[in-house]
Amino acid sequence: VHAAAALQDAINRKGVCEQRWSAWDTRIDVTKDALSVASTIRLEQWVCERLFGRDLKTRLGRETGRIEAHVAPFVDGTRPQLKLTRFRIQDLGPISRTFGVEDYVRREIQKEIDKINGNPKLTETPALIEESGYRYHQAELRHGPDGSSYLVASIIGPNDAMALAKLISAIARLTE
């Protein structure tokens, strides 16, 4: 009883010593309109304290749950972008709620999306398209007959056959 009370006192005074995270059984799928990432996660909360002259490290609890996130492409103005369209954590309990696991994981996913969205090589309209008077209109995920997945970005522009012919010719020269 005294050791339990001393441990609780140490927890209250010192806070936590460590959180351990692990993930497995991660699946990445391309659905009709989004990239879906799902993974099983485990969070362990440990407390460290010197008690009765010895270092004591105790696992306070462990929770296992499932995270699912969907990321979809869209066009924002003239730029293709990604956005988090669905986020869900299942089967985690009070430890995860206490330490804000859901908010933390959501922020980390959003940071990665922001890195991609901020990369001009991936999101800026190529000069060739822009100079022709065209702009991105729509972005979507599609599946190839071989099971591959790819991003398709549609463009719209002037109702001008010559401008379109010049654009097609310039793109064809790039791919030769």
Question: In DSSP terms, which residues pair with 61 in a beta bridge?
Answer: 45
pLDDT score for 85: 92
With beta carbons less than 8 A apart as the criterion, state whether 47 and 58 touch.
Answer: yes
- Checking if the pLDDT of 16 tops 70, the result is no
Mean pLDDT of the chain: 79
CA–CA distance, 137 with 76 (Å, rounded to integer): 9
* Predicted local confidence at residue 3, as pLDDT: 40
Over residues 5-23, mean pLDDT:
59
Q: How confident is the model at residue 175 (pLDDT cuts 50, 70, 90)?
A: low
Residue 77 phi/psi, 5-degree rounding, is 70, -105
Split at pLDDT 50, 70, 90, the class of 129 is confident
- H/E stretch holding 9 reads helix 2-14
Residue 93 binned pLDDT confidence (cut-offs 50, 70, 90): confident
- Three-state secondary structure call for residue 27: strand
Residue 97, sorted as left (phi over 0), alpha (psi -120 to 50) or beta, turns out to be alpha
